[in-house]
Each structure stands twice: as structure tokens, then as C-alpha cells.
A and B are shown apart, each in its own frame.
Chain A
């Protein structure tokens, strides 16, 4: 396995790097698109504004190169905005397009003043944005028949760390692996299509279950 982490000038590279090392791999930071082909597994971190991240991607020559890497069938994991970028576009930055590897748009979540979470009243009755915190991910029914390899060893009660205002809305139900509920929002928390995966949450900041998921990814193939 040769694990590369995209270093295009945005994102929490260091924490992803450390987390991959912690699970026993020796990752390489990839800042040159021509280096992509040397890797079997690529992780794309991403935080911040969708448009800003896409522009950096274009500037560094990653947009086309990553598309080709993914089409070549190798393993790819997008985290947070890195996951949102797999889709066609985002309400956050309507002037730019995503990678379009998965069908659907990224939309702003709904805040509300009267909300119930997991059957319990939210104190203050509010669902705030950004959504920051630890939440469970609920596998979709097709995943229960054919488990997603990234969730091996992860239980239903295990929580992951989220920080975001927007969420992808996949058009193809088979690409949606798990959802997370936040108020009336149905967050696409884990998506997958062939060897490409995306997590809205941050596995590198999600304690031991996040590390488990990263380990599962790096061990694919």
C-alpha cells in the first residue's frame, strides 16, 4: 500500500498525516499531481470554503489529475470538503464545479428554532449551524446487506466528529452508505462508489473509531 495525502495548500494535513501513521502506514504528502500515479491510496483532506478549496485544486493542477486517478480505479478517500468536492457542485460556491465523480449537489443544512434530536428536545430548542460535534452514523439499508468495508469494526453507537454547514445530497441511493441526523437534516455522512469514498465527518479527529476507519481504508485492496 502506498498512501498519499493531497497537499494543495488547504486542509488539516498534519492531523490526517499523523492519524495515518498511527494506524501503521507511512504516508507521503503529494503536492505534485504527477506524483498521484505512484500511490495506491489517496486521501484528500479539506476544510473551509468549497469554492476556495476547488480553486486551490485547479491552481495546483489536481482537478483533472484526481479525476483520472479515480477513473483508473485506485482507492480515494475525501474528507469533509474533500468529500463534498466529489459531487457536481455546491450551493456554497455556485460559480465553481466539483469533480463530478458522484452525482448530486452539496446543499446548506437547515437551522431551526424548534427541534427534536433523537426524540429528545434540544435545549434552547435550537439546531445551530455550523453543526459541530460527535454524532452516530446510521448505515443505509443496502449497506446492511453488503457492508461498506470502511465500517468494519465500527458499531452503531460509535460517534464521529463533524464540523460543517453544508451536506452532500447524493442522487444515487446506492452511493449513500450512511446518514447522520441533525435536527431535520439528513446528512450524507459516508458515501462510496466503487473505490472512491467520502466522509463528511473527520475520521482523523474522531478518536479510535476514526482511526479504525482510516485503517480500514488504507488496508483496502
Chain B
């Protein structure tokens, strides 16, 4: 039941990846990777446009259109979503859900507007969490570049009330490090949220996969770098998921 989601951070049509959101490098063509993960049996894909929020608008509609012609699993699109019209554009380009971070923090009522119009199931709130003290995390925006002063746990409760359907929780401190997920963070959010929580950041081994599920209570995992660089393959991830307490 735990979903494995391929996370593709993109710049234009290129797949990129950085370490802790800094030092970005181009890995290849995003669609090639999307195809490859679909063929390998991925449960879902997430595209995050890493530069869109700088320009204030989403720009991946062609990439989405091309992707959904060949990929028949759910696709989430995020980056630069600020208005109901942005959401409409992404959904009509083929996205099943949209991921929103900055736009929701600036204007929390956007969450309810989208949920009312298109349904909660298509609202994924992306939270970028940076640890500030033991068991305390602050929400960041602009791909981890800007702090907001907002407490992650409080924000997670708030977005659920406003009608979010899922939370994509990225541990900035772990992202791209292969050092394992932020278990206490994921536990705090996924253990108490009444909506599914997708844990992202730090996965580098099958043990990290099992830990996030068994100890972090993650409902789904978003894996980027470890898949892109073939450090992990779908078969071993599935096996790890199967061996968790929750089972496949």
C-alpha cells in the first residue's frame, strides 16, 4: 500500500538534482527518466519545476502533455503555482494533482479554493522543512532558499484543515545526501496527519526505505537522486516495502 513515487526536479525539460537544494546539476532529459520509471513499475511521478516559482508561473505544460501520452500512472506537477488558473493549466495539460508550496504559504486560502473547485484529491501541499532545534522544523520556500518563520508541524495541521489532499514533506537537511530520511520529522507529521504524507529527502538505501515506513509512518516515499543515479532499483525498493510491518 505504500506508494513509491519518482521525484523529478526539472528545469525546463531537463532533469536536475542538487544537494540540499544547492549546487544544481543537469542529469538528463526529464521525459527519458519518466519513461524509464514507468517501465520499471513506479506508482506515481512528481515533477517539480525548480525555477518556475522565481518567474511566478508554471512552465511545464508541454513536458506534462508529452509525459501523459506515454505514462499511465498518476503525475503530480508543482513549482510556481499561485492561482486557480495555474492549477487549471497544469490539470488540463495532464497532471492529476498539483504540488504547491510558496503559493500556499503566501495565500493559504488558495488551498481551499483549489479543493473546492477541483477536489482535495488534486491538492498536494509541498512542505520544505529545515530543522531549527530538536523536534522543531521551519517551513522554507523558493526551493529551500527562503525561510518563512512558519513551524512545519503547525503548517501541516493548517493545510489539512484547509482541504489539502496530501502532503509532500521534504527534509531539506537530508535532501540529496543519501544519509537516510528525517525520521523524527516524518513521524511528527505523518503520525498525526489524517491525510497521506509523502516523505522525501535523504533516501539512499533500502534500509532508509523501511525506516521511513516503519518508524516514520510515511504513507508514500518520493525518491529522486537514488533512482536517477541507479543507486536503488524498483525491485529492491518493492522488496523493502513488502518486508515492512505494513506490507506491500
Contact = CB atoms under 8 A, between A and B. Distances in A.
A93 interface: no
Given A47-B119, A133-B3, A14 B92 contact: yes
Interface in A186-213: 202, 204-208, 210-211
A120 B247 CA distance: 7
Nearest to B165: A130
Contacts of A163: 74, 96, 121, 165
A32 interface: no
Q: Is the interface of B mostly helix, strand, loop or mixed?
A: loop
B47 interface: no
A15 B96 contact: yes
A188 B114 CA distance: 27
A129 interface: yes
Interface string A42-61: 00000111000000000000
B190 interface: yes
Interface in B88-119: 91-94, 96, 116-119
Given A123-B217, A134-B3, A19 B119 contact: no
Given A47-B119, A118-B247, A132 B68 contact: no
B3 A206 contact: no
A29 interface: no
B111 to A, nearest CB: 15
A130 B120 contact: yes
Contact of B41 (A22, A117, A207): A207
Interface in B166-204: 166, 190-191, 193-196
Contact of A129 (B3, B69, B194): B194
Nearest to A203: B72
A122 interface: yes
Given A14-B93, A118-B247, A205-B74, A111 B68 contact: no
Contact of A161 (B38, B74, B217): B74
Given A123-B246, A128-B195, A133 B73 contact: no
Nearest to B116: A49
6 closest Cβ pairs, A-B complex? A48-B119, A124-B217, A120-B247, A14-B94, A123-B246, A163-B121
8 contacts: A47-B118, A121-B245, A128-B196, A129-B195, A130-B120, A133-B196, A205-B73, A207-B73
Interface of A: 12, 14-15, 18-19, 22, 47-49, 111, 117-118, 120-124, 126, 128-130, 132-135, 161, 163-165, 202, 204-208, 210-211
